[in-house]
Amino acid sequence: MKNYETVIGLEVHVELATKTKIFCSCSTQFGGAPNSHTCPVCTGQPGSLPVLNKQVVEYAVAVGLATNCTITQYSKFDRKNYFYPDNPQNYQISQLYLPICRNGSVEIETASGKKNVRIHEIHMEEDAGKLVHDEWEDVSIVDYNRSGVPLIEIVSEPDMRSAEEVIAYLETLRQTIQYLGASDCKLNEGSMRADVNLSVREVGSKKFGTRTEMKNLNSFKAIAHAIEGERQRQIELLEMGRKVVQETRRWDDNKESSHAMRSKEDAQDYRYFPEPDLVPIVISDEWIANIKASQPELRPQKLERYKKEYGLPDYDARILTESKHMADLFEATTKICQKPKKVSNWLMVECMRLVKDQDMDVEDISFSPVHLAKLIDLAEEGVITGNVAKDVFEKIFKEDIEPEAYVKEHGLMSMNDEAELKATIEQVVAANPQAVEDYHNGKEKAFASLVGQTMRATKGKANPAIVNKILKELL
């Protein structure tokens, strides 16, 4: 078999975090009864007209600046014409000829080092509604709540060569956009969507191979699998002496395979033309400067600050700043309890363990920093033991309970009363003559076993230092 190189470019759709839609004042809130966040504009009523939400432009420019793009200071919207019931006007207002940002790049880091992925353009557009097919009643119903939710589409150059690079690129984009506050970028909820354009070519070849576009990728895992699968499929075709057909393919997460949706031959002619209902967007130098000035701290700066200001090791600072949400949680908790390293330990160890156990996204962590800060104080003051603290943390993580009240209610305070502990330990010693004998015969393990028995007897509440002390006395 020949040696092949994979060439990948990405089209990433990101739903912007504006309160209202791109062309009307309807709410963008998720959920809500079907068609409750709608008006004449976002349901395509005759005579209605779009009015651009300024915040959309500001977010798009902010993302463009953070990804080193040139901002198009005279930008326009175009209409993309196609018929589908989720699209109430039967055209989507998008940008083709003069997109808001062009010629950017982001730096990614993989095991093989750092590299730049170039961004071809970023354009603004509106999202469509949602079709619900009721097989039972044999009808289709449409919900326009999502119709008109603002999106940006970030189109990369074909600069990636592996799934690893694609994931690194997406992680970098996600991090940057989350830090900007422009979107929450949740792949599973669709606020970030990636279409993968992939082709293969013989190593050393200058010409690109025929590419396919893969849609419906809802997780990093699906993206990685889809890339591997498509790469194999194209190589197999070429090895058999056949050709790759330029087409759009749909990834099926359950079957872990893709199937052709439509080929280039039946690609629609979108009949793009300038949107006559909107005036050109003119972005002054001053406006760009203002957006730049109000840009929040991005990850690289935050990473450095965590090391300097909180004295955290590089490792901690990296993990905490990987997600803006995690970093916010860290800062809020630290602000209350003033113990950065303790907070960092809790978040990196216990919190991340639970995130993995629950197969959750870091973005979905929802407990209050006040509760974590309180828990750290309780443990530090010796009110509860380390073991109990771990159990209470799990409660905080899952149900966001108030730890002090919870500890009191369930009698989880650590046992510091020597007389009380002495009585318990005496019972343990009496019940385990073998262990006592082993200890006297120099087996250190036997001591640990007796401590363990004591802890079990006190449901983990016994103060370990006191237990050690008394046990040594008794033995």
Binding site residues, another protein, CB under 8 A: 40, 43-52, 79, 81, 83, 85, 88-91, 140, 142, 269, 271-273, 276-279
What separation in angstroms does the CA of 181 have from each of 57, 175, 375, 401?
A: 14, 10, 29, 28
Residue 269 or 285: which CB sits closer to another protein?
269
The pair of three-digit structure tokens given for residue 352, joined into one six-digit string: 């991340």
| Minimal distance, residue 97 CB to another protein, in Å | 10
Output b/e per residue, 332-358; b: 16+ Cβ within 10 A: ebbebbebbebbbebbbebbeebbeee
Residue 49 or 465: which CB sits closer to another protein?
49
| Minimal distance, residue 19 CB to another protein, in Å | 18
Which residue type, as a one-letter code, is found at position 355? V
Residue 124 or 160: which CB sits closer to another protein?
124
Q: How far apart are CA 318 and CA 314, in angstroms?
A: 6
The pair of three-digit structure tokens given for residue 316, joined into one six-digit string: 């901690």
Nearest to 64 by CA among 281, 353, 377: 281
| Minimal distance, residue 47 CB to another protein, in Å | 4
| Minimal distance, residue 275 CB to another protein, in Å | 9
Residue 51 or 360: which CB sits closer to another protein?
51
The pair of three-digit structure tokens given for residue 257, joined into one six-digit string: 């395979």
Contact 200, 5 (CB under 8 A): yes
Residue 142 or 149: which CB sits closer to another protein?
142
| Minimal distance, residue 114 CB to another protein, in Å | 40
| Helices first, then strands: H and E counts in the chain | 16, 16
Nearest to 51 by CA among 85, 83, 20: 20
| Minimal distance, residue 24 CB to another protein, in Å | 9
Which residue type, as a one-letter code, is found at position 28? T
Residue 43 or 234: which CB sits closer to another protein?
43
Contact 67, 104 (CB under 8 A): yes
Nearest to 325 by CA among 354, 365, 372: 365
Nearest to 257 by CA among 226, 214, 219: 226
Residue 1 or 282: which CB sits closer to another protein?
282
Residue 82 or 208: which CB sits closer to another protein?
82
| Minimal distance, residue 273 CB to another protein, in Å | 5
Residue 45 or 70: which CB sits closer to another protein?
45
Map residue 465 onto helix, strand or coil: helix
How many C-alpha atoms does 54 have within 13 Å on its Cβ side? 5
In this structure, how many other beta carbons lie within 10 angstroms of the beta carbon of residue 76? Answer: 17
Q: How far apart are CA 77 and CA 96, in angstroms?
A: 7
| Minimal distance, residue 270 CB to another protein, in Å | 8
List beta partners, residue 123: 153
Residue 280 or 296: which CB sits closer to another protein?
280
| Minimal distance, residue 141 CB to another protein, in Å | 11
Strands of the 113-126 sheet, one edge to the other: 70-71, 101-110, 113-126, 150-156, 4-15, 192-202, 212-215, 247-252, 257-263
Q: What is the dihedral of CA 393, 373, 340, 366, to 10 degrees?
A: 60
| Minimal distance, residue 72 CB to another protein, in Å | 18
| Minimal distance, residue 40 CB to another protein, in Å | 6
Residue 281 or 327: which CB sits closer to another protein?
281
